[in-house]
Amino acid sequence: MNMRQIDTKNKYQKDDDIDKIILLNQAIESFNCAADKFGGYYQNLEKRVSELDFELKKKNRELQDNLEEKEEIKKYLNNILESLTTGVIVFDLNGKIKTFNKAAEQITGFKYESVVGEIFDNVFNKYNFPEITDNINFLIKLNEKTEFEIGINRSKESLIHAGISVAPVYNINKKKIGTVMTIQDITGLKKLEDQLNRTDRLSAMGEMAVKIAHEIRNPLGSIELFTGILKKDLDEHDEIKTILSHISKGINSIDNIISNLLLFVKPDQQPYYKKVNIHESLEESLLFSHHLVNTDKSIKVIKKYTSESLIINGDIELLKQVWLNIILNSVQAMPDGGKLLILSKKTNDLKNKAGFAEVRIRDTGIGINKSNLSRIFDPFFTTKRRGTGLGLTIVHNILKVHRGTMDITCLNPGVECLIRIPLQINDLNYKPE
């Protein structure tokens, strides 16, 4: 190969190297450009990831706050549910109990742990909820609110009156998912209703009795007047005078019965209020009834008075009639002897800051037939062979003018009379409406 050929070959080789260098430079520039773009993309991606991470953390915080808020609301609503004085029971379409609050525990006597998750019928048998368990399937299928009253047996000795409200439970899609039952103890309300009905009956009977009493007293006065005249004119006829004396005694006896009746339904003598010690009035009444109690040594009087002073504003003579009537009933209920227990204590009340004087008089006598309990305060109602049936009527009216109440409970054996009178009535001129 000559020199010319060598030079030509070197020239081509050199041009080829230049082209490769140019391509390499272009490739490097392209790579650097792509690297710059990828760097920008990476920065943007990193920024976006950071933003998403921030958003995620924010959403997590919001979710956590939302969960905590919902938990607080749940606790708040649960606290309200547990604080209600109305019992709440919720059961599903199969009768399985889902909710059972504290008031429901107190009213029914069953505990939350023993009922939740159980079938309603299996928990509350026909003895406890006779009217509900017989109709539980009807209540589950019920599609509208219904209300009724029933008796609930909390135990063999405890029967309470309850107001029941039953309504269907729907979810957000308005699909029925169960039944809610609310239970309210209305035993106290029933007692107030009985007292109101008793007062109404006594008022009606009283109006009638006043009219009858005045109609009887008019001819009695004339008979008494003529009897007195005859006595004066028949001084020498002892036999006839004896008969006239019997007539006078009969008239006086009838007049005494009428006076007792009027004392209650329309007192001729207005109550005279002053400070009265309950214990002193009880002691005086026991003193007056001493001969009744001690005719039979087998009657034992037991007194358990509170050490606190029970002072009320009242008429001591009327109050002694209350104690005497109750003590007399107790003694007559124990013909074969027994125990007469008299207890006293002070009870507090939110409405009456002074509280109440509470007296319980118990006997171990023959008791009262439960079927007669609703009638024992009715005028002229009596189960005794001899008696006017006015004793407890008089007691009721005397307690009424003292703003007091009386409840009678059948024991086994005997009866307990619970009398409650407000302490320290401020209005000494109080007169019943």
Q: Do domains 84-185 and 191-265 have the same CATH topology?
A: no
Q: How confident is the model at residue 431 (pLDDT cuts 50, 70, 90)?
A: very low
Q: Any idea which of 253-257, 331-335, 414-418 has the lowest mean pLDDT?
A: 253-257
Q: Which residue, 123, 104, 420, is CA-closest to 278? A: 420
Q: Which of 183 and 350 is assigned the larger pLDDT?
A: 183
84-185: CATH class: alpha beta
What local confidence, expressed as pLDDT, does residue 155 receive?
56
What local confidence, expressed as pLDDT, does residue 268 receive?
45
Tokens of 77: 């609503």
Q: Which of 33 and 416 is assigned the larger pLDDT?
A: 416
Q: Which of 360 and 369 is assigned the larger pLDDT?
A: 360
Q: Which residue, 144, 282, 120, 266, is CA-closest to 206? A: 266
> What is the pLDDT of the chain when averaged over all its residues?
77
Q: Any idea which of 194-198, 297-301, 321-325, 373-377 has the lowest mean pLDDT?
A: 373-377
Mean pLDDT along residues 178-202: 79
Mean pLDDT along residues 34-41: 77
191-265: CATH class: mainly alpha
Domain 274-422 in CATH: superfamily?
Histidine kinase-like ATPase, C-terminal domain (3.30.565.10)
Q: Are 358 and 278 in contact (CB under 8 A)?
A: no
Render pLDDT for 315-366 as a digit per residue (tens, 0 to 9): 887 888 888 888 888 888 888 888 899 999 998 866 656 688 999 999 988 8
CA distance 87 to 100: 8
Domain boundaries, the chain: 84-185, 191-265, 274-422
CA distance 106 to 104: 5
Mean pLDDT along residues 105-116: 85
Q: Which residue, 178, 168, 149, 159, is CA-closest to 108? A: 159
Q: Which residues have a Cβ under 8 Å from the Cβ of 292 and sit 6 or more positions away? A: 327, 328, 331
Q: Which of 232-246, 259-273, 338-352 has the highest mean pLDDT?
A: 338-352
Q: Which of 379 and 225 is assigned the larger pLDDT?
A: 225
Q: How confident is the model at residue 427 (pLDDT cuts 50, 70, 90)?
A: very low
CA distance 215 to 233: 28
Render pLDDT for 128-155 as a digit per residue (tens, 0 to 9): 676 676 667 777 787 888 888 877 776 5
Mean pLDDT along residues 363-383: 65
CA distance 378 to 391: 10
What local confidence, expressed as pLDDT, does residue 13 receive?
65
pLDDT of 314 over the 70 cut = yes
Q: Which of 281 and 243 is assigned the larger pLDDT?
A: 281
pLDDT of 117 over the 50 cut = yes
What local confidence, expressed as pLDDT, does residue 365 receive?
86
pLDDT of 295 over the 60 cut = no
Q: Which residue, 191, 171, 101, 92, is CA-closest to 136? A: 92
| Burial per residue of 140-179, b for 16 or more beta-carbon CB atoms within 10 angstroms, e otherwise | beeeeeeeeeeebbeeeeeebbbbbebbbeeeeeeeeebb
